[in-house]
Copies of this chain bind each other. A is one copy, B any other.
Amino acid sequence: MSNFDLVLRLFLQLTVILAVCRAIGWIGTRFFGQTQVVSEMIAGVLLGPSLFGLVAPEVQAWLFPIKATVGGVTITHPSMSILYVLAQLGLVLYMFIVGLEFNPEYIRGRAKSAGLISGAGIVVPFALGALIAFVLRGNADLFQPGLSGWGAALFMGASMSITAFPMLARILYEKDITNTRLGVVTLAAGSIDDAIAWCLLAVVLASFQSNPQIAMMAIGGGIAYGLFMVVVGRGWLRGFEWWHQRGGSAADEPGVGLFTLLMMVLMLCAWFTDYIGIYAVFGAFILGACMPKGQFSALVIEKSEMVTTSLLLPVFFVYSGLNTQLGLVNTAGLWSLTAIIVLAAIGGKGVACLLAAKISGESWRNALIVGTLMNARGLMELIILNIGLEKKLITPMLFTMMVTMAVVTTLMASPLFQLLYRRQEADATA
């Protein structure tokens, strides 16, 4: 495969990926009141072995080759590496943008009810996830051999506790209720939950390193990175806003020089957090969260969001879908297990948050809205699951079950929210 052939194939892959994402996205939003993200999750699964590979195995294997043989040795096909790299680049940019949009001010003033909801949204799904993992821990079909019961419990707990924070924020923003009491509490609870779940995952990844030195580097390095960014980095990053408002380097177009510099910092943070063994997405998110929220960060979002979400992120969904093999879940027993996982996810997260919201004084309807939104796993779940698969914590079979859970919980969210929200509006005008 020459470089020329690889590029040729990539153009075709991107054409197919974008066409399918767009088509499913159109059907999903038009007829089922779905969000773009769930449509793309499904598009990814459809392009993988679960549908495309079932219907036209040769075409699928030609368009998305997994392995290549060179001199008698089987290696990852370079085309797959290229998709992986593009997906990671997209994720890093995306998580950086999510961080830029994350405003710690959300939490202030609503700390009590947000704390109760987010606490319930972590403790209950975590406990249920850990329980499931503990029961199944010896099963080599689900967890990679070598993963301790403790590691399995932590990973399942963390991945059950995830909230699709960016999606939640987008739904609230689209309905223009970000600044209502309901919006603020949900945003605060969602962001706390995600932050905690990511920290837990960092601990899992770190503790899974067989070498204690590597685990030390991951935990110590991660804490050092976080502290450095919050204590020192935030001050330095204010320089971007200051320099931007002074007009930047005179000979440049507005913002170009600073944007390049910021991308350099982003790549450095991504490299560092990848290198120490936590993940580039953490580094990117923390950098974004530590950036001052001003004109420059708004410009960066404005200028990088569309290429990231429309061109690069679909590659991640498809890469994830290529690893999802619904065909592996092929017995009644395995489907029952999948159903148990889905129910535990909904019961653990959705119901627990609903009850916590009710206890903290929301109406039943608002509590239901909070539960519904917190329950959606979205893209965040796929990120965690892909890390688990890449780091060889879980098997393709458990990966597939968990992706099913992520799709189902995300599918539920938007129509349920719209139903509840319309009723609420109807009540308000009655």
Contacts and interface: CB of A to CB of B under 8 A. Distances in A.
A80 to B, nearest CB: 8
A22 B309 CA distance: 26
B271 A26 contact: no
Nearest to A387: B4
B84 A81 contact: no
A390 B309 CA distance: 32
Interface of A is mostly: helix
A32 B2 CA distance: 40
B84 A22 contact: no
Interface residues of A, number: 69
A271 B70 contact: no
B70 A18 contact: no
Give the most central of A21, A250, A261, A264: most B CB within 10 Å.
A264
A3 interface: yes
A272 to B, nearest CB: 8
A270 interface: yes
A260 interface: yes
A140 interface: no
B8 A249 contact: no
User: How many subunits of this chain does the assembly comprise?
Assistant: 2
B84 A3 contact: yes
B36 A252 contact: yes
A310 B259 contact: yes
B12 A271 contact: yes
Contacts of A36: 251-252, 256
Interface in A277-321: 280, 302-311, 314
Interface stretch (A71-79, A99-107, A143-151, A330-338): A71-79
A227 interface: no
Given A85-B10, A271-B12, A25 B257 contact: yes
Interface in A49-80: 70-73, 75-76, 78, 80
29 contacts: A3-B81, A3-B85, A7-B84, A7-B85, A7-B88, A11-B268, A11-B271, A11-B280, A12-B267, A15-B268, A18-B260, A18-B263, A19-B264, A22-B260, A22-B264, A30-B251, A36-B251, A36-B252, A36-B256, A70-B71, A70-B73, A71-B71, A82-B85, A85-B86, A256-B310, A260-B310, A260-B314, A303-B307, A307-B307
Across chains A and B, which 4 residue pairs bring their CB atoms closest together, nearest first? A71-B71, A11-B271, A71-B73, A18-B264
